Structure 1
Amino acid sequence: MTVATGLAVATEGLTKRFRSGQLAVDGIDLRVPHGAVYGFLGPNGSGKTTTIRMLLGLLRPTAGTASLLGQPMPQGAALALPRVGALVEGPAFHPYLSGWHNLMRLDAADRTARASAAEDRVRGALDRVGLAAAAGKRYRHYSLGMRQRLGIAAALLRPRELLVLDEPTNGLDPQGTREVRGLLVELAGAGTTVVLSSHLLSEVEQVCTHVGVMHRGRLVAQDTLAGLHARGASRAVVGTPRPAVAAAVLDRLGLADVVVHPPGATAELGDHAPQDVVAALVHADVPVTEFRVSGAGLEDLFVSLTGEGFDVNG
């Protein structure tokens, strides 16, 4: 394959069809720049985890190609994966070992790591995710949130050029979620590229620079976060004591999706200049107490792209 320059993750026509006939991923072209925090969004079952498993060489694609850090996958896995930290479909550890000993076993399996510094690496990783006090506790006694933290710690045992995290805040309480978000911002600030699979809009809006939206196996949108915001249809928001009359004026002007909701009315602005809309309202003797242009929120845009709702909580 021809590896795209300037990209930490790139795919061309990446496709996965299972033996059952299910088309889980349908010809997607991912573009993740170096240094980006890429929010990989979509409802459950949209193909996000299958895509991540192909990127990491855990599944072979039916068609198409993928590269990580300039290395074709899975052929270049030996060169790429030591530079990648990953958490996919929840962590899996030995239940009767402590968090500390689980990480020590993982660290020992890394042939590129200096053995004499293993304890320092494990101690540092546990501290970064807030598990230092629970290091000696058996994994089987960890809560779901603690297990998720340990999985993130495993991905951070070594400095990584790329982190691929599948629903990293799953099971965390609000404080834990905020801590993970802060950690991702810190890592990105230090130059680590992050691919963050999530269905939480609040998570994406607070930490991501780029976004890809999956729906039924297809990549239906991909842009910077600002660019995706700009795709939302602008709405004219009119404040007036005569909302029904204002709505009638907006309708006559040809604005779409006119809605009356006292104390005002809204409509899609489309190609209409805001000053022309205000002039028409005043000409029709509609007292205008407020007029502003509001872009559609990410939730509205995602629903329009996928036809499905997203969890906006975090």
Structure 2
Amino acid sequence: MPKRIQISQHGGPEVMQIIDAAIPEPAADEVVVENKAIGINYIDTYVRSGLYPASLPSGLGTEAAGVVKSVGEGVTTVKVGDRVVYAQSALGAYSEYHAVAADKLALLPDAISFEQAAASFLKGLTVHYLLRQTYVVQPDETFLFQAAAGGVGLIACQWAKALGAHLIGTVGSAEKAARAKEAGAWETINYREEDVAKRVLELTNGKKVRVVYDSVGKDTWEASLDCLQRRGLMVSFGNASGPVTGVNLSTLTQKGSLYVTRPSLNGYITNADALTQASNELFSLIASGAIKVEVPEQQKFALTDAQQAHKTLQSRATQGSCLLIP
């Protein structure tokens, strides 16, 4: 029987169970995908823990790449045998087969492997909406990106370099600093050893930056605000250290009439046309080599090892993306 990961209660990695599940039948406008590689994302830990509510029992994961197994009534955009990738499915991508709405699928170019796609699609689309839509980063512009050696961060480093922009990336070790610089970061700051806001001030000759991208959350909130120019934009798009709570709006006034936004992919990729536009730009950069997607062997886990995968991800010991392989 095909396998899938399911949670019946919220909690730590131990609540994930491997169960038998029949191959689903596609409903109208749905496609069943045989997953070949499954993306693991930090947001999956939020669903598992209950930070992001889900009806229980529930599957986990929204991103994978694979081959179309069957199509439902009304589907004309893909056919059986097509190579596809998705990042915005209903929960349940941690599985051998998953039913996905057809308008959430992108055709995968032959030049990009299933593992490359699953390791980069959600993260790449995230970087697209961050750097190309939430705030349009310009050539030669300097900005701060917290957690630059993570899966999203390493793609952001490469994308920033392709744009001709100067990304200052925060990292937690010398090894991660080297990885971020290799990917295209202009400068790095080791937040364990350096004062981030002070270092940004030095790197920008006292000007600070117009935008900060922060997926860490609670632990970096104040430091990120302190890196912004007057009327700068704080883009808070994740909660790796816990959610930002109890925000005093007058703090934004005191620090320079700052702006704050809390965007999500689903707020930007809202239809098939938007998905096609963003994915085409991402695929073009990957195919050209401007964005390289490599997953270390130690960050590839069998589907049955999902618990260990989440433990490893949350240890902050990873660099780049992690995958489940059915």
Fold match (TM-score > 0.5): no
Work out which of the two has the higher radius of gyration on C-alpha atoms and give 1 or 2.
1
Q: Pick the TM interval, shorter chain.
A: under 0.3
Q: TM-score, normalised by structure 1?
A: 0.25
